[in-house]
Amino acid sequence: MRALFIALVTISPLCALAEIVVPIRTIRVKEVISAADLEIKDQVVLGAVTNPDDLIGQEARVALYPGRPVRAADVGPPALVDRNDLVVLVFDRRPLSIKAEGRALGRGAVGDRIRVMNLSSRTTVVGFIRPNGQIEVK
């Protein structure tokens, strides 16, 4: 009996309720999350997002269901480039600067590395997405 009491006393701080953020509706993959989609819930879930500001404006990478906790890996920055988008390829090494038209072979957000087909040469190159939507080829 005494051991049970000691176990409960030592475990109880871990069982205190904490606030987590949960969706109030189903949020599909690739949907951008708004403040109206979220609510705060008192529940203990390790790894769950606790601040709604961390989710607002982010894009769901997996389907998020009402009342279920959201983890940081479930969301990410919204995609700036979609697959098959026409994009500008930029190779910039001073004094040489080359721009070409390309077609995105993947989807990504700012800073992501994606493959792009150069429409002039039909070759596939890899580059990083700039904030303006251009692809910087290294």
Q: Residues 96, 72: one domain?
A: no
Tally of domains within the chain = 2
Can you give the CATH number for the domain in which 116 is found?
Answer: 2.30.30.760
Residue 2 lies in a domain: no
Q: Distances in Å between the alpha carbon of 137 and those of 91, 93, 127, 128, 130?
A: 5, 10, 4, 7, 10
Is residue 98 located within the same domain as residue 51? no
Residue 21 shares a structural domain with residue 60? yes
Query: Running DSSP on this structure, what letter comes out for residue 80?
Result: S
One domain, residues 67 and 98: no
Give pLDDT tens digits for 21-63: 999 999 999 999 999 999 999 988 899 999 999 999 999 999 9
Domain boundary among 76, 95, 118: 76
Per the model's pLDDT, the better-predicted residue between 88 and 19 turns out to be 88
Is 50 exceeded by the pLDDT of residue 5? no
Question: How many whole angstroms from its chain centre is CA 95?
Answer: 36
Write the pLDDT tens digit of every residue in 99-138. 999 999 999 999 999 999 999 999 999 999 999 999 999 8
Same domain, 40 and 72: yes
Q: In one letter, which amino acid is 24?
A: I
- Given a cut of 90, whether residue 69 has pLDDT beyond it is yes
Range of 43's domain?
Answer: 16-76
Is residue 64 over pLDDT 90? yes
